[in-house]
Amino acid sequence: MALFKRRSVKEEVEQDPNYPVVDGLHYLDVLAGIEAHMNPELYLEIGSRSGTSLIPRKCNFVAIDPVFNLKSSDFSSTGDMYFFRKTSDDFFASGFLERNGLVPDLAFIDGMHHFEYALRDFMTCEKTMSRDGIICLHDVVPFNGEMTTRDENYLKIGTAWTGDVWKVVLALMKFRPDLKVDVLKATRTGLCCVSGLDPENSILHQNFEQIIAEFVPIDLVEDGPDSYFRKIELLDPNAYLEGL
């Protein structure tokens, strides 16, 4: 993938007219709406960092991040709160959830913004989830090509970076048609909500290398945004919540 000239930290990321406008309900409000509907026993989050998405949670939660930088300790939850300062791979390998009989009902993935990391997070997360649960993935609706770069240095620019997490949507649609994959126009960079989970399904695990080889080379800058957006339906977040 071509690398891009870095922007000033103060410079705003521009909307590319060839990309859809992401102007729906804020993704944190969507998470709150899902939580209110589901009333989950346990919420699992990968990529907590500042804790912004944890603070509103009212249920028990497990938060995973190798570099926590919590901005507040004023959490809404009155239940159990578990913080793991490690990678998601190391967390799932530890077997903590299984040993303690913990089964997440709602999960939010916002970790490393490379396709293969996000896909692996989905795979390992689904194995631990309730069949009636929902897994949400952030950053699946970029609004320009620049933010889809796999260059990790883009993080330092101070602007939105989706990386190529959006490819997870295409991979799930192709290899897991049994899943319900809803892509929401949630501000600012979209939210994918996956339901119909099957913790016993091993299709992604069996085909992981093939999936990586097939999807990593796809590039929205070179191939154009239609190579992604013509294959999916973007839903209004409010309509999605009303349909739960």
Q: What integer is the mean pLDDT of 190-212? A: 98
Per-residue pLDDT band for 153 (boundaries 50, 70, 90) equals confident
pLDDT for the residue 2: 30
The structural domains of the chain, with segments of one domain joined by +, span 24-242
Among 218, 215, 168, residue whose Cα is nearest residue 193: 168
Q: Which residues contact 35 (CB under 8 A, 6 or more apart)?
A: 43, 57, 58, 59, 106
The strand ranges marked E within 100-151 are 106-109, 134-138
Residue 146 near residue 160 (C-beta atoms within 8 A):
no
**Predicted TM-score of the model (pTM):** 0.94
| Residue of 12 and 107 predicted with greater confidence | 107
Q: What is the pLDDT of residues 59-86, one digit of tens each?
A: 999 999 999 999 999 999 999 999 999 9
Per-residue model confidence (pLDDT) at position 167: 98
For the segment(s) 24-242, the CATH number from 2.40.128.690, 3.40.50.150, 3.40.50.1370, 3.40.50.2300 is 3.40.50.150
Quick one: tokens of 200?
């016993």
User: Residues near 129 by Cβ (< 8 Å), separated by ≥ 6?
Assistant: 44, 103, 104, 105, 107, 135, 197, 199
Nearest to 106 by CA among 160, 153, 61, 143: 61
pLDDT at 105: 98
- Among candidate residues 85, 159, 79, 154, the one with its CA nearest the CA of residue 114: 154
How is residue 87 written in tokens?
């990678």
